[in-house]
Structure 1
Amino acid sequence: MSAAGDRAARYLDLENAPFTFPGSRILVQRADGALTVRLAEYERPLDECVLVRTLRVYTADGRVAPVTDVLPDRIEFADAGVTLTFDGPSALSLGGGGRWSVELDVPSLADAGLDAGLWRPGLPSAATASWSAVGADDLLVRGDTVRLSFSGSSLRLDIASGASADGASADDGRADVSHVRALAATAQVWNDWFARCPVVRDDLADMTAFCWWVLGANIVTLPGRGGARAVVPSKIGYVGLWQWDAYFIAAGLRHGDPELAREQLDLAFGFPTAAGQLPDVVHDDGVLASSDDLPPGDRDNLRRAGSAIADPTAPIPLTKPPLAAWALRALEGRVDDPAWFERAWATVARSQDWWFRDSDLDGDGMPEYGHPYSSGLDDSPVFDAELPVASPDLAAYLILQDDLLAAHARDRGDRAADAMHRERAEATLAALERMWDDEAGFFRSSGAGHPLAAQTAVSLLPLLTGRLPGRIVGRMLAAIDDPERFATPFAVPTVAARDPDFSPERMWRGPVWINVNALLVEGLAVSGHAERSRALAEATLSLVIDGGGPHEYFNPLTGGKARTATTSFGWSAALFVDLAVRVSA
């Protein structure tokens, strides 16, 4: 394994970081003194996606062989001389020399007979699965538990739907040949991936390697999308391509694999509605672009009744914040395909028009969020109010996006488009400044036209525009420096510490999110505060390192992973890489 792979291996604990493979849905984790094998599926908890309840390896004298080492390409059971690796994206291979045994507890053995080694997980990506053995000299089945014994041979677990049982017999039963080949092939895939890992400062190199592993580990293929590669937020909990996750993930990938970064934008941009709206999620079977795309049981819970403006019985568009131009700009100079960029910029322009035409729900010229999902900040206290919500972060994104679209139009010599985008940005900036509450010292969100009391990190994101009056910027910096607001021990919390809705653990109601910090790093820089920008970047990098990895979100009081946060989270990993490269320059 490469030096970067060795650095990443220090974090592979089979709990926060599962054993997996680029492009695979298979996850191997620790469970009850054994290993469990699950499949990553869209909108399904892992506990409902069990392929193998427990997998235990035994030594020649019958003792359980513990896991002794975990590397990106293999799990080692040194006491038994056995390793577990991948054999392509849809199979696992277990093998070793000497005498050893393996015990598998599987969900449901098929009735077809033990010779086929079939069982039925009954999952979308694995309706059936199978085991096949090279050189097994003993087999014992009790209920759903299979125990096989070997003398220097191997076992293959085929996970793909309709898998056959003969994949491991291609080497004519010669001991361990197929397993050795699987080990070499898996190592090559990971070595090729780590060869692209960006070079950063020595003190950031270990975590950068792990974050690069996270990005590779979170690659899945979407069969319903022609096998496209999506770097999902997390195989542990979020298996799909969410629009703004794709933007943040692309920002990190561009430093080592710009073509994969482009693939993320291709998926995010690939399924606009006729009106130009980009969907919230692209997944195996379609997209999530409306409340009507939700499972029926979710609609009553997620549709907010009683809004004075939005019709609760009508489909509600679901999207994500307009950071498409921000992400596209990040790839310029890294992907050499002018025609692709022109198509992408046209898609972004149509999406921007959709916001102003179809998401200005009260007709005042300022688009609103019609549903919490469209903000990405689902649980923020600004959504405790009546919908729709006008929020300063949305205004900032729209201003930035129109500014970037205007710059692109100027580059193309399109004076009319340049003028239109600049004029719309100016109008949105004026509307944003009307959100400023000078007495309270922050930008206020409003719900159904009523100002909201909640002070959250969205009130800081207008820094992204780089256009605010110095007086307002000064007040915002004072809020960032105030321990009662945003200067918590580990900053920046998503809700001000003095706000009655502040919670250090609850999603979007206080924890630190790396994407918010990364946007504020950029906002401080473009607002003329380069030193403060650098300081926040360094503090954010330290938070991830000291907190043990790129978690979904962090407790702002302790700096540790928040209790319910997902681990090995895609945008946290990608933005760590991006920030590490920036501060290392």
Structure 2
Amino acid sequence: MDLDFVDFDGVPFTVPESNFVVFRAENSLEIYCVEYERPLTDCLVAEIHPSPRNMEFDAQARDGHFRFGTCEVAVYKNSLWIHSTDAIVVKKNQNRLSQTVSFYDVSDDPEARDVRISYSGALVPADGEVPTSWLAFREIADAVVERWMEKMPRVSERRIPMARQCWWVLGGNQVRFAGSDGEILRGIVPSKLGYVGLWQWDAYFIAVGIANGDLNIALEQLRNVVKFQTDTGQLPDVVFPGGVLIDSSDLPEADRKKLEADGSPTVGGRTVPLTKPPLLAWTIEQILTGRSDTVRHQLIKEFAVIVANNQEWWFSHSDIRGEGLPEYLHPYSSGLDDSPVFDHQVPVPTADLAAYLSVQDLILSDWFLDHPEQSIVYAERSQRTHKKLLDLWDEDLGMFRCGYDVQTLQHRTIVSLLGVFDGRLPAPMIKGVLNDIQVPTRFAANYPLPTVSFDDIGYREDTMWRGPTWINTTFLVADGLDRHGYSAEARRLRVAILDSLERAGGPVEYLDSTSGNRCDTAVRNFSWSAALYIECAVREFSESPYRRASDA
């Protein structure tokens, strides 16, 4: 299959289970091996210069290989083969990688000059037996991508081009590495451009979308997340080659410097746990929709105790006031790293976390129906948390506050809208949320939902969680609206997700809410955007008159 969206610039070439990423550089190609928290400039391993060097750049990608003049390059896992019937220069580059890059001169054609590059080490599993013939190598490389693309779920015809690109991204962002226990994991990273690890809540959204075409890989993402659950029930923020990010003492240096530059109240404080929002049970319920009772029973049996232990961790380790409402101890644990709600106080009670915890306890109550006493405990705690959420509502402001201090400046952000995730808001509150969503000076954007209200002093159109639209939070708000019975508004937001990513040209990390363009600092080929595009496109197709007629 031709990969016409791979332009070797914004969308570089890569394949499933590989750390290799190939970009263009004027009329040559640059080969990188990407690693966790390592700048791309440190990951350049080789350059390919064709002959003549002034030839016009015209690389064409297809499945697991691409053509570049008289040169062909195929990638299978962490082996890359360069095959050319003309003179080329393969220039090795000094890199700063933690693993080993090896170069081999190989050729089964006396007229060709072939070079194979491999990437392996203690944290990266070897590829096993690799074909020694160029044609056999290219064939096996193509087969990997072909098999993946065949799994793409059915969507409406007009969504197929972007769905193909998003499904390819979800395959291309797969990597293999050894965890801290030495076992090999296969995970879908947020992006091979800057996020080469497994982030907890990324895994949740990725699993929701990818389950439409490959349930096994979706469940692998969840098992990767829970594999390193602590004895206290905490789930780590990030799983990466050889380690986990479990508390603020483990933060990479780049993150520390950013927090200092932002003037975060967390700088210089005590070490605190790092995790991500408690959405595991919700994710499993999303995946279980439409599946058999047998699958449902198996997954609940596998994950129920894990979720229950994690829920206990939140209430025993993050309820620092002892009032029954856990708080984010660090902005990173919210997933909304630089949101203005964390400018003035951390820890802080927030509507989103209260809603997540209330829903997770409600799901646990259902999962433990065979254990009535436990089921009642979860149901009662869910109700108490729900009431704590309602206590955060500010009638004068018409939104959920962050914290109880009336003197603290309140920002109108996506955090307030996420209170709707609770699914049980009284009519005045749900109408207040809907009003914010529909008022042009607040969240009624061309490409909704901005993460900060347009009229808030903290709004920045292009700064991560301080204004741009993120696909996952829009999806969560839509989910909450659905459970309140506002299905038309929820459907409108899901269609907006599809239109937004099509306008942006692909599954970008975040985008300008007004223009729909990718923000300059946003990563391309972002997995949860790709996964939620797939989820929304599948839902749209299942609800369409065409689908209902064709299935009749």
User: Please, what TM-score do these two structures have when normalized by structure 1?
Assistant: 0.86
- Alignment correspondent of 2:77: 89
Alignment partner of 2:338 out of 372, 376, 379: 379
**AA paired with 2:105?**
S
Is 1:25–2:19 an aligned residue pair?
A: yes
Contact residue 18 and residue 29 of structure 1 kept, 8 A: yes
Is 1:157–2:120 an aligned residue pair?
A: no
Give ranges in structure 1 of 5+ residues lacking alignment: 109-120, 137-149, 172-177
Structure 1 pair 479–313 and aligned structure 2 pair: CA distance change class (3 A): closer
CA RMSD of aligned residues (A): 2.5
Contact residue 57 and residue 65 of structure 1 kept, 8 A: no
Q: Report the Cα distance in structure 2 between the residues aligned to 1:385 and 1:246, rounded to whole angstroms.
A: 30
Alignment partner of 1:15 out of 1, 9, 13: 9
**AA paired with 1:392?**
A
Determine helix, strand or coil for the equivalent of 2:170: helix
Q: Report the Cα distance in structure 2 between the residues aligned to 1:84 and 1:236, rounded to whole angstroms.
A: 20
Q: CA deviation at 1:153?
A: 4.7
- Alignment correspondent of 2:87: 101
Q: Report the Cα distance in structure 2 between the residues aligned to 1:451 and 1:419, rounded to whole angstroms.
A: 37
Cα-to-partner distance string for 1:134-157 (whole Å, 9 max, x where unaligned): 279xxxxxxxxxxxxx72453222
**1:465-504 matched pairs, under 5 angstroms:** 465-504=422-461
Structure 1 pair 395–337 and aligned structure 2 pair: CA distance change class (3 A): closer
**AA paired with 1:74?**
H
Structure 1 pair 132–420 and aligned structure 2 pair: CA distance change class (3 A): same
Determine helix, strand or coil for the equivalent of 1:58: coil
Structure 1 pair 43–68 and aligned structure 2 pair: CA distance change class (3 A): closer
- Alignment correspondent of 2:401: 444
Determine helix, strand or coil for the equivalent of 1:401: helix
- Alignment correspondent of 2:277: 321
Q: Report the Cα distance in structure 2 between the residues aligned to 1:567 and 1:170, rounded to whole angstroms.
A: 32
**AA paired with 2:471?**
I
- Alignment correspondent of 1:215: 170
Q: CA deviation at 1:133?
A: 3.4
Contact residue 200 and residue 581 of structure 1 kept, 8 A: yes
Contact residue 135 and residue 153 of structure 1 kept, 8 A: no
Contact residue 56 and residue 64 of structure 1 kept, 8 A: no
Contact residue 247 and residue 264 of structure 1 kept, 8 A: yes
**AA paired with 2:522?**
A
Q: CA deviation at 1:367?
A: 0.6
**AA paired with 2:174?**
I
Contact residue 42 and residue 283 of structure 1 kept, 8 A: yes
- Alignment correspondent of 1:130: 103
**1:569-584 matched pairs, under 5 angstroms:** 569-584=526-541
Contact residue 248 and residue 575 of structure 1 kept, 8 A: yes
Is 1:67–2:58 an aligned residue pair?
A: yes
Contact residue 102 and residue 118 of structure 2 kept, 8 A: yes
Contact residue 169 and residue 525 of structure 2 kept, 8 A: yes
Structure 1 pair 168–436 and aligned structure 2 pair: CA distance change class (3 A): closer
Q: Report the Cα distance in structure 2 between the residues aligned to 1:232 and 1:298, rounded to whole angstroms.
A: 18
**1:274-289 matched pairs, under 5 angstroms:** 274-289=231-246
Structure 1 pair 402–157 and aligned structure 2 pair: CA distance change class (3 A): same
Q: Report the Cα distance in structure 1 between the residues aligned to 2:339 and 2:447, rounded to whole angstroms.
A: 19
**AA paired with 1:44?**
R
Q: Report the Cα distance in structure 2 between the residues aligned to 1:124 and 1:42, rounded to whole angstroms.
A: 10
**AA paired with 2:36?**
Y
Q: Report the Cα distance in structure 2 between the residues aligned to 1:71 and 1:297, rounded to whole angstroms.
A: 36
Cα-to-partner distance string for 1:433-468 (whole Å, 9 max, x where unaligned): 111111111111128886441100111112112100
Determine helix, strand or coil for the equivalent of 1:196: coil
Is 1:57–2:50 an aligned residue pair?
A: yes
Alignment partner of 2:147 out of 158, 169, 192: 192
Determine helix, strand or coil for the equivalent of 2:67: strand
**AA paired with 1:154?**
D
Is 1:537–2:494 an aligned residue pair?
A: yes
Contact residue 134 and residue 169 of structure 1 kept, 8 A: no
Cα-to-partner distance string for 1:347-393 (whole Å, 9 max, x where unaligned): 11110111111101122211100001100000100010121111111
Higher alpha-carbon Rg: 1
**AA paired with 2:14?**
T
Report percent identity of matched pairs.
Answer: 36
Cα-to-partner distance string for 1:488-533 (whole Å, 9 max, x where unaligned): 2221100000001111100100000000111112111111111111
Structure 1 pair 526–100 and aligned structure 2 pair: CA distance change class (3 A): same
Q: Report the Cα distance in structure 2 between the residues aligned to 1:313 and 1:565, rounded to whole angstroms.
A: 29
Q: Report the Cα distance in structure 2 between the residues aligned to 1:221 and 1:168, rounded to whole angstroms.
A: 16
Determine helix, strand or coil for the equivalent of 1:30: strand
- Alignment correspondent of 1:115: none
Number of positions where the alignment pairs a residue of Structure 1 with one of Structure 2: 532
**AA paired with 2:354?**
A
Cα-to-partner distance string for 1:397-446 (whole Å, 9 max, x where unaligned): 11111111111112xx2111111111111111111111111111111112
Is 1:182–2:137 an aligned residue pair?
A: yes
Q: CA deviation at 1:169?
A: 11
**AA paired with 2:350?**
S
Is 1:561–2:549 an aligned residue pair?
A: no
Structure 1 pair 85–465 and aligned structure 2 pair: CA distance change class (3 A): same
Q: Report the Cα distance in structure 2 between the residues aligned to 1:442 and 1:305, rounded to whole angstroms.
A: 26
Give ranges in structure 2 of 5+ residues lacking alignment: 543-552
Contact residue 131 and residue 137 of structure 2 kept, 8 A: no
**AA paired with 2:89?**
E
**AA paired with 1:460?**
L
Determine helix, strand or coil for the equivalent of 1:551: coil
Structure 1 pair 253–299 and aligned structure 2 pair: CA distance change class (3 A): same
Q: Report the Cα distance in structure 1 between the residues aligned to 2:441 and 2:151, rounded to whole angstroms.
A: 42
Determine helix, strand or coil for the equivalent of 1:498: coil
- Alignment correspondent of 1:522: 479
Is 1:355–2:353 an aligned residue pair?
A: no
Q: CA deviation at 1:341?
A: 3.4
Q: Report the Cα distance in structure 1 between the residues aligned to 2:406 and 2:316, rounded to whole angstroms.
A: 18
Q: CA deviation at 1:338?
A: 4.4
